[in-house]
Chains A and B, each alone.
Chain A
Amino acid sequence: MVIISFLTLIYAFVTSDFSNETVYNNSHTAKPLFYKISGTWGNHEGSLLLWLLVLTIFLFLFVIDSKNLSQRYRTLTLFFQEIIILGFLLFILFTSNPFSNIFPVPIEGTGLNPILQDPALAIHPPILYLGYVGTSIIFSSALGAIISGSINKSWASHIKRWVLISWVFLSIGILLGSIWAYYELGWGGFWFWDPVENVSLMPWLCLTALLHTVFTLEKRGTFQSWAIILSITTFSLSMSGTFLVRSGILNSIHTFANDPSRGVFILCFLFVLIFISIFIYFFYQKTITVDPTKTFLMSKETAVLINNLFMMFFLSVVLIGTVYPIFLEVINNEKISIGPPFYHKLIIPFLIPFLFFMAIGPNIKWIKDKMVKINLKDIFIFVISIVISYIFVNKFGVSYLLSLPLFILSLFLFFVTIRDFFGKNINISQKISHFGFSLLILSILLNGVLAKEHSSNMRVGDEIKFLNKIIQFQNIEVIKKQNYQTLIGKFNIVDENNSLSLKPEIRIYDQPQTITSEADISSTIFADNFLVFNIIKNDGFYNVRYQIKPFMIWIWISVLLISLGGILSLKKKNV
């Protein structure tokens, strides 16, 4: 088994080298070297090769990592992993061979889609894939463990590392994608509830639930079946993500070259894996030794279960929201759109209790805790949060009904985690992640509530008043670059005491011919000034959109903190 995996690894290496060469043919000579390389995974074939490559590397690492575990379990895990690799290999060979020859050999390629020619996006796919593929190890290992009957504390501490790795990569991958969307797609949002974004969020939610469950399993040896189910689900979600994105079944901003035959293949492969895992789960279920100890209401176990409940709820909202239109269209032939309002309505109300449990949950002890644990300090913090939120809401006249409790509770979590940093026997990684999460919710909330924007059509020389500022459109400069031509607009944002100069661009790429707008963003710790302009048909006029996005940078920082918590947890031997 090990040898086979080695061979596949070598094979994948060789092939990806080859693919680099084919990509040289397929890309444009005028493209910078960096994007030539990232062009390898910018297309469908190359990205699948990357999948395969990462799969094999992970398998190799798994073999090294699991040396001290039982031989039977290792072999079984490798077996399932080989099945996955084989599936992808067949997929590549039959439906999307990256080496299929074009004859006669074209002199110039069609080039990489310009909006993908961006540093953040160049590293986004590999990192996201590391996360996705990590879930495949969790999947195989869960199946291996259930058959060999070795689901116990040592399995948990072994698999925990893989869960953490995948989780960290997935978080950073999502973050990168979101940053890219923020400054490249040019309309100032960072999350659109677009299907493609949703499919990366789903495994993340599931992994987060699994992470908490695995911690419990490691400490207390409970929830074995649930951990297995979550492991299987996580991988299935990653796979269906690939299916939904690659088959073109969904209508999304992120269009990939689509081909239904690929869709059919991934779909069949996905369901074969799902069926295998369902049957294995049901037939080997008896190997799971049911833990005789009870779970008490006031215990960390319950807190973990509550976390899982909320995670599963968020997951179901995202999953149902994403696939419901497909189902409805097939059954009823009616086409509907499900957009941000749907997700907001269902998720935001549930965030309120979720934040509350997140604040108190980690401080509850394992096994059993006293009921009356709410001390004066907690109440004090809670009151402070209420007062601050009240002042804030009054000052800015926020009318949204739900923002007040949401604000109170995210502040509550914020303060509780800060306080806990100074407590004794703290779990630093968990604190950082939870702190990051409270910061995330806070900054998203503030960002949503306080954002201001203005859009209008301007010509060079025009001035527009907006709030207490004046937006001046000073001039336009045309510059020829290596593979595109760029129009740089110079804008000045002047308010009472200072002036800010922003230079957004409109790029006209020649290979393939596309126009993209590059926003210019000036970030401070308090707010981002975001300005983007577009060509419109009326001669001389440009559509200019100016946005003030408060606390934007904190959204990125908080996600980094969340991931940092995961990395720290990895480093520790014993959490």
Chain B
Amino acid sequence: MSKNIKLISIVLFALFSFFILLKGLDKSNTYSPSIDKSKIDFNFKSKYLFSEKEVFLNELLKNEGMTLINIWASWCLPCKDEHAYLLKLKSLNNLNIIGINYKDNEKNAKKFLSELGNPYTNIITDPNGINSIELGAFGVPETYLIENKSKLIIKKFIGPIDDKSFTQLTKIIQ
């Protein structure tokens, strides 16, 4: 009798592991943290691009509506692709877009914006990448949609904005 119980329990355990591993195969290896966790402290100071003044990110968020924070750099190729979308968003909804210029030099950044246009209401710099980490970012480009009142992230895009994420964004904003 006890032998059967042993057999059954071992078989059940093996079956259990089997299904777990089978399901585990479907999970992707790329990792993105769940949104509800990333409550961000926007209270860090940073320098404006093309000026020596410093500002707290908090002060750049308005009290009503939404703000889009976009991390970009002139050396990052996908940033060029998503730039058109940012410009469209700006013209469509007159959205408050804050740029964070990631590990860039000012000359290149200026050239980048004069060639492709400037969708940003304000641009702050992140010369060594630590401000982006405060936001919980992985690298460039990355985009956050923030509700100004609650200071919560509504939507987060890792990597460049494309057609799909653009329609998502416009839907949420409207």
Contacts and interface: CB of A to CB of B under 8 A. Distances in A.
Instruction: Tell me if chains A and B make direct contact, with any CB pair below 8 A.
Output: yes
Interface string B18-35: 101111111101010000
B10 to A, nearest CB: 6
B3 interface: yes
Question: Which of A243, A278, A279, A330 is the most central at the interface, judged by chain B CB atoms within 10 Å of its CB?
Answer: A330
A464 interface: no
Interface in A260-295: 260, 263-264, 267, 271, 274-275, 278-279, 282, 285
A326 B3 CA distance: 31
B7 interface: yes
Interface of B is mostly: helix
A21 interface: no
B70 to A, nearest CB: 21
Interface stretch (A5-13, A124-132, A162-170, A244-252): A244-252
A249 B11 contact: no
B14 A330 contact: no
A267 B7 contact: no
Interface of B: 3, 6-7, 10-11, 14, 18, 20-27, 29, 31, 103
A330 B20 contact: yes
A335 interface: yes
Given A274-B14, A278-B10, A278-B11, A248 B20 contact: no
B151 to A, nearest CB: 25
Nearest to B21: A267
Q: Interface majority SS on A: helix, strand, loop or mixed?
A: helix
B21 A275 contact: no
A327 B20 contact: yes
A275 B25 contact: no
Interface of A: 243, 247-249, 251, 260, 263-264, 267, 271, 274-275, 278-279, 282, 285, 323, 326-327, 329-331, 335, 537
B136 to A, nearest CB: 15
B20 A267 contact: no
A222 B124 CA distance: 74
10 contacts: A249-B27, A260-B26, A267-B25, A271-B18, A278-B10, A282-B3, A329-B27, A330-B20, A330-B23, A330-B27
Nearest to A327: B20
B14 A326 contact: no
B20 A335 contact: no
Contacts of B29: 248, 251
B22 A264 contact: yes
Nearest to A537: B103
A46 B159 CA distance: 35
Interface centre among B21, B22, B31 (most CB of A within 10 A): B21
A278 B13 CA distance: 12
B21 A326 contact: yes
B25 A278 contact: no
B27 A267 contact: no
A275 B11 contact: yes
Contacts of B23: 330
B34 to A, nearest CB: 9
Contact of A278 (B7, B20, B21, B103): B7
Given A282-B6, A329-B27, 17 more contacts: A243-B21, A248-B29, A249-B24, A260-B25, A260-B26, A264-B22, A267-B18, A271-B14, A274-B14, A275-B11, A278-B7, A278-B11, A282-B3, A285-B3, A323-B21, A326-B24, A330-B24
10 shortest interchain CB distances as A-B pairs: A326-B24, A330-B23, A263-B25, A271-B18, A282-B7, A330-B20, A260-B25, A330-B24, A249-B24, A251-B29
Nearest to A255: B29
Contacts of B18: 267, 271
Given A326-B20, A330-B20, A331-B20, A264 B31 contact: no
Contacts of A275: 11, 14
A330 B19 CA distance: 10
Contacts of B10: 278
B51 to A, nearest CB: 24
Nearest to B33: A335
A278 to B, nearest CB: 6
A335 B34 CA distance: 10
Nearest to B23: A330
A249 B21 contact: yes
A445 to B, nearest CB: 34
A271 B18 CA distance: 7
A10 B26 CA distance: 37
A264 to B, nearest CB: 6
A327 B19 CA distance: 10
Contact of A249 (B3, B14, B25): B25
Contacts of A278: 7, 10-11, 14
A267 B31 CA distance: 24
A242 to B, nearest CB: 13
Nearest to A261: B25
A263 B20 CA distance: 13
A226 B103 CA distance: 60
Contacts of B24: 249, 326-327, 329-330
Contacts of B31: 335
Contacts of A330: 20, 23-24, 27
Contacts of B6: 282
A325 B52 CA distance: 47
Contacts of B25: 247, 249, 260, 263-264, 267
B45 to A, nearest CB: 24
Contacts of A248: 29
A285 to B, nearest CB: 8
Nearest to B10: A278
Contacts of A249: 21, 24-25, 27
A279 B7 CA distance: 8
Contacts of B14: 271, 274-275, 278
